[in-house]
Structure formats: structure tokens, C-alpha cells
Structure 1
Amino acid sequence: MKLQVKLLAFLVVFTLFSCKDNATSKIKKENLEIAKERDYKMTEGASVISFSKTEHDFGTINEGDKVETTFDFKNTGKSALIITNARSTCGCTIPEYPKEPIPVGGTGSITVKFNSTGKPNQQNKVVTLTTNTASGKETVVIKANVTPKQKAS
């Protein structure tokens, strides 16, 4: 028991006195400049995706219908726009996106296909794009009111 108390006391004393150097004095000024430049590129110099619309409502469709829409966009930022991934909240929604960089001032489109089979009632699906914009992620939304199939009698 005495050994455990001595060991605990040693650990407490060691912890208190081992960190007496000022951590901020160890930061190199050139690293700060590199970080500032990186942050500028990620925000002020970043690409900006400007959609003509970010939401599409298919209205009322029948269960089993396969519909699609296109989200047109323009790169209004200061660097090439790169979309590295497009993911949906459901396997019934398939996004297609440009794989090549979109230059400053260039345009492109995201096509979203929705299969309403097995998806009755109100549907809201979000497609998330992984991009090199300041936020790193952009979203578009599709909606549909799916009329259920009538059961055979």
C-alpha cells in the first residue's frame, strides 16, 4: 500500500513539473505563415459552387416511377472546382457528377435519379457532394409525394 501511495505521489509531482515550458514560444513563425496561406486558399481563394437550384420537387408520382432531375451549377470561385464524391441518403437515389475539375467560370451539372419502388408517401432525399469549396460539402435535395400502389383484391 505504501508503494502505491509513493508511486501515485511521484506521478502527480512529475505531471505538475514536467510541462513548465510555454508551448506558444515553440511555434515557428514560418509555420504560421504557411497556415495563413493554406487557410486563405481554403476560404478566400476557394472554389465556389453556385447552383441554379438546390432543391427539386417531383410533385406527385406513382410508386414504381423512375424520375430524374439535373442541378446545373457554375464555379464562381477563384480556383478550379473539384467534386470528389456524391452520396445520397438512400440507395434509391443515384447521383452522377462530373469527375473532371470545373475551371473558374466553368459550368457543370449533377444528375439525380430517383426510383420510387417501395418508397410510398412523402420522400425527401439529400445528396451530399464532397468538394474543395470552403465548407468541403454541398447539398442538393429532391422531394416527391409517392402515391402507393393499390393492392389487388
Structure 2
Amino acid sequence: MDIIMTLVSSVQVTTSFDMEQIACDIRLVGSGSTRCSGRVEVYHSNSWGTVCDDGWDLNDAEVVCRQLNCGSALEVPQSAHFGAGTGQIWLDHVTCSGNESSLAECQHSGFGSKTCEHGQDAAVICSDLIRLAGAGSSRCSGRVEIFHNNI
């Protein structure tokens, strides 16, 4: 049985070019996902959908990790690493500089991809804000470290 953990963030952004308010809810899910790693899904038009990994890179992942308070992006696994999603593929060709506070601020080819399949669902692995470090007696023991103010 797969355990699926979900962390959802909601950010409201007002764009300067058309003053339209865009809501961007985001979560990480899938087989083997954790609070700060998984398949990237966004909530749009009353349903969750995936993000295509076309052009998906560490800059894009950095924004997702920041939006979810999960530290820095460590990796962007390709080819539906956390399992293929179902339903709508909402975003494709996402392009972030890495400095945005929300995925809603990044450029993309519009909602509703016509050129992507779920075998290309984007994923992220973030550093998380809490970790075990030092020489513990097992992989589940050690010194607890908290990431705060980039330290």
C-alpha cells in the first residue's frame, strides 16, 4: 500500500500586465513521496493536475520548494519518477528564474497541455527544513538540525 503525503500551499499573485488575480495551489504527491519530495501538482479550475517536465529544471524546482517551505531544490527527477498522475496536465514548458516566490509567477505555455503525457510528469526533491545529521546509531537517529534564515 502506497502512503501519499500532501502539503498544499496557496498563494495569491496579482500580475502587473493585466491586474488579473491568479490563485496557485500546489502540492507534492505520488508513490514514495514525502512532505518535500514528489510529483508536482497544481490546482486550477476546481481540480488538481500535473505539470509536464518539458524544460523543467532546478530553477523551477527551487520555486516549488520555496513555495512549500521545503528548503532548497536538490534534484529534478524526470519521467514521472514518483508515478504518473491522472487527469489534466495543467502546465507545460514552465520557466522560472528561481527567484519567484510562487509557481504562479513563472512563465508557462498556458493551462491545459496538449503535447505532454503523464509519463513526463514533473517532480522535485527538496532539502527540507529539518534533517538528521551526525553519527546516530541508525539511519533514523542523529542530531536534529533546522534550516532557518538560509543557515
Name whichever structure is richer in helix by fraction.
Answer: 1
Structure number with greater Rg is 1
Shorter-chain TM-score tier: under 0.3
TM-score in terms of structure 2 length: 0.26
TM-score by length of 1: 0.26
Higher strand share: 1
